[in-house]
Amino acid sequence: MISPEGDERRQRLRRLDDCLNLLEQAHELDLTVVTDRMADAVGERVPTIHAGMLIADAIEEVLRHQEPYMVQLRPEVTRRRPASPAAALIRTLPETDTAVATLLG
């Protein structure tokens, strides 16, 4: 069962994703600054975004607001995931092949 905290966390993250999508779409349309309408649309969720701000900076603001929600581990995930095949391969490479291992990582 999903805890109320987990549900609230997911909803907040979804709202921030909506803000990010709006700003990314504007960026793809070659807009460079946040408009009044865009600022109104995202301002409640990310109050540091304002009209006239560079869209690239606004995207960074949204990402900063998302960070606290992204780094939390779900309580049900308590053990590490199995290593990927690439990680297993890197561990088998001789130490002299460190550069190759870095490229594969």
What's the mean pLDDT when you consider all of the chain? Answer: 78
Domain ranges of the chain: 4-72, 78-105
pTM of this prediction exceeds 0.85: no
**What pLDDT, on a 0 to 100 scale, did the predictor assign at position 27?**
95
pLDDT in tens, 33-66: 999 999 999 999 999 999 999 999 999 999 999 9
Quickly state the pLDDT bin for 1 (edges 50, 70, 90).
low
User: Could you give the residue ranges of the DSSP H alpha helices within 29-97?
Assistant: 36-43, 55-70, 85-92
Coil/strand/helix, residue 79? coil
Lowest mean pLDDT among 7-16, 25-34, 48-57, 79-88: 79-88
